Amino acid sequence: MSLVSLVSLSFFRRKTSTRIENSPSQPHPAPCILPPVQDHASQNAGPLPGARRKSEITRGPFGAALPDRTVDSQPHPLLANSPRQYVLALAIFVVVTLINNIWLEQLLGYQPLALVYLFAIVVLALFINRGPLLFGTALTALGWAFTAPPRHKFYIDSLDDKMMFATYFVVALTIGQLTTRLRAQREAEIKSKFLAESERLGRTLLNSVSHELRTPIAAITGAASEMLNSGSLTPLQQKLATEIESAGLRLNRVVQSLLSAARIQSGQLHSKLDWCDISELVHLATHEVPSLNVTHRLTVDIAPGLPFVKLDFILTQQALANLLVNATTHTPPGTPIHIVARIQNKHLLLKVADHGPGLPPDQLDRIFDLFHRAPAAKPGGTGLGLAIVKGFVEAQGGWVQASNRVGGGALFTMGLPAIAAPALPAEPS
Amino acid sequence: MNTAANQTRFSALVIDDEPQIQRLLTITLEANGYRVTTTGTGQQGLAAAAQQNHDIIILDLGLPDINGVEVLKQLREWTQIPVVVLTVHDKEAEKIEALDSGADDYITKPFNSGELLARLRSALRRADKGSQGEPDFNAGELSVNFASRTVTRKGQTIKLTVTEYTLLRLFIKHADKVLTHRHILREIWGPNHESDTHYLRVYMTRLREKLEADPTKPALFLTEPGVGYRFKA
């Protein structure tokens, strides 16, 4: 089953497209709220015709099938921009006028020529936008006025012909309006239907991948843990069962990271903000990294009287835990790791500082990219951890920043908007 | 519950559509003295629960025919049999929904068999003494006398406000069980305050400060991230 390849495929597609969007070099953010990465499409409705289509691709989760069908609903590439449509309208007008004047006028008389112009306008309306169509309508109306007696003057003599002119103009305009509106409606329908469908597909795929991978992992770790619990193993068997269990748990963490990253990438991460006790959050995050206190010296510095902050507990806890895992893997054993929590400028700042080798200065911008790994990084990492941190804090309207400490070592700072909790009703003791 | 003289082993009903998980649970539970019945769909599970007498149900929330929470709701229409639901890591909303629909506990896949057995034991224990009145409570350093409304820790009387005391009593009544934020808020502050989680945060901090040995590393009032709290007796 190539479910994994599907997931990673979707990463790469999304990655290439987001790269393009974010490329206007992002200066290092000062502590301020950066907009969450959501609506890419609205940000780059740029003049490049190609860029517009690219953003269509990013909109749908698991964009694999998106490009073909999105292109279908766009006009033909030759007609993609309006100057070309004006040229087309002019060309059609010239051709029809020539046919009218050289051939049809002798055959039919001048009045039915209006119908020929109308025919051309209706056909044009199927392909071009409102502006160029209006231009074409005006041209053809003038063209007919030019043919009607007195000939070769932009003036119409008889009342009949004046009526004819007015009717032509109104009918052609109305038809043009109706056709373009209908077409726009149809395009919007196709697009929204397609987006909904692709979102549903993405969700289904995530759920089934999650289920297909987690079921066997649950069986592996469950069986290994029961073997260990049974207490009837030889020392060798016990070692082997322990190895199976810990490998299963590691596999589970990798699957968890992949699914989190896929969820961020496909825009299916929805934060659930709730009042949180920061010391509780820090405590539980450190719990998720059991090796932390064994291999390193952890210090926790939470500003006294820190108020409750409205944030997504699980996402923030996971982000902090990922930063701690990152610090333990990239710094020598025995060195200290500090967690600092402060409120500053109505923002909660959660910092993780270490005493390791620090970060290469030229990598600071790319360190949060998906699958990015520092050139000198130790083997055995997915390159997902920091990308997940970024995705999780940005989903809550926050930001994350990497820097090097003055005294040496890396410093990661997460900033999350903090508003004051409403007061509690007083209570007699 | 079902404690007829000739019945020494608990009977567990497993409702899970994955054959691999069914086998694993059967092996694990049988090795630990349970009699196990397995069913693969919600409908079959409901039928099996009605036809035979079970002591506990292990219910997977992702069933092929009907939603696991729906199975739970239908079960709760006629029985209070303990139900432990199986769920996966990042589905907090599902866990909350299951607990609020009457699940006794949840366990997250992949699970450790020791953890699973402990959860089952405590669910069975709660069900067994559910009908008894409130005795005095003693656990470690903490003791509560419900008749005189006194709380002592290490022999010293602790002063609690009315709300703090009510909250503590609620936790003791549901010891070892996960209480969702919504459930606690409704019980203590009433249905209009179901989303005022900051009330709960404030009082949990106060309770921990008064009753925990180290309030920053809670050992009694455990947080179930994104779901609620569990009081560990």
Residue pLDDT, tens place only, A328-362 = 988 899 999 999 999 998 899 999 999 988 888 88
Q: Rounded to whole angstroms, how far apart are CA atoms B190 and B181?
A: 12
d(CA B196, CA B204): 13
Task: Specify the fold of B4-132.
Answer: Rossmann fold (3.40.50)
Take residue A275 and report the two structure tokens written for it: 């009042």
For residue A230, the chain B residues in CB contact (below 8 A) are: 31
- Show the tokens assigned to A89: 């309208």
Q: Tell me the nearest-neighbour CA distance from B130 into chain A, angstroms.
A: 30
Structure tokens at A172: 């052609």
Does residue B225 belong to the interface with chain A, where contact is any CB pair within 8 Å? yes
Scan for tokens 């006629």, then name that residue: B78
Contact B92, B226 (CB under 8 A): yes
Residue environment code for B184-202, b if the CB has 16+ CB neighbours within 10 A, otherwise e: bbebbbeeeeeebbbbbbb
- Give the H/E segment covering residue B30: helix B19-31
Alpha-helical segments (H) within A148-290: 159-230, 235-265, 278-287
Q: Where are the domains of chain B?
A: 4-132, 137-231
Query: What residue type is assigned to position B166 of the chain?
Result: T
CATH class of B137-231: mainly alpha
> Between these two residues, A332 and A148, which has the higher pLDDT value?
A332
- CA count, 13 A, side-chain hemisphere, A149: 6
Question: From the CA of B20, how many Å to the nearest CA of chain A?
Answer: 7
Q: What is the value of pTM for the model shown?
A: 0.67
Comparing A365 with A59, which gets the higher pLDDT?
Answer: A365
Q: How far apart are CA A253 and CA A322, in angstroms?
A: 11
Chain A CB within 8 Å of residue B218 CB: yes
Q: What percent of chain A has pLDDT over 90?
A: 23
Over residues A79-86, mean pLDDT: 76
> What is the rounded radius of gyration, in angstroms, for the C-alpha atoms of chain A?
33
ipTM: 0.80
Tell whether A252 lies on the interface with B, counting CB pairs under 8 A: yes
pLDDT of residue A232: 86
CB contact under 8 A, B198 and A229: no
Cβ neighbours for A2, distance < 8 A, ≥ 6 positions apart: none
Q: Cα separation of A67 and A58, whole Å?
A: 9
Which tokens hold the place of A53?
């289509």
A277 lies within 8 A of chain B by CB: yes
Contact B183, B228 (CB under 8 A): yes
- Secondary structure in 3-state letters for B104-172: CEEEEECCCHHHHHHHHHHHHHHHHCCCCCCCCEEECCEEEECCCCEEEECCEEECCCHHHHHHHHHHH
Query: How does pLDDT run across B28-78, given as a tens digit for each residue?
Result: 999 999 999 999 999 999 999 999 899 999 999 988 888 889 999 999 998
Q: Is-same-fold flag (B4-132; B137-231)?
A: no
How far is A165 from A367, CA to CA, in rounded Å?
68
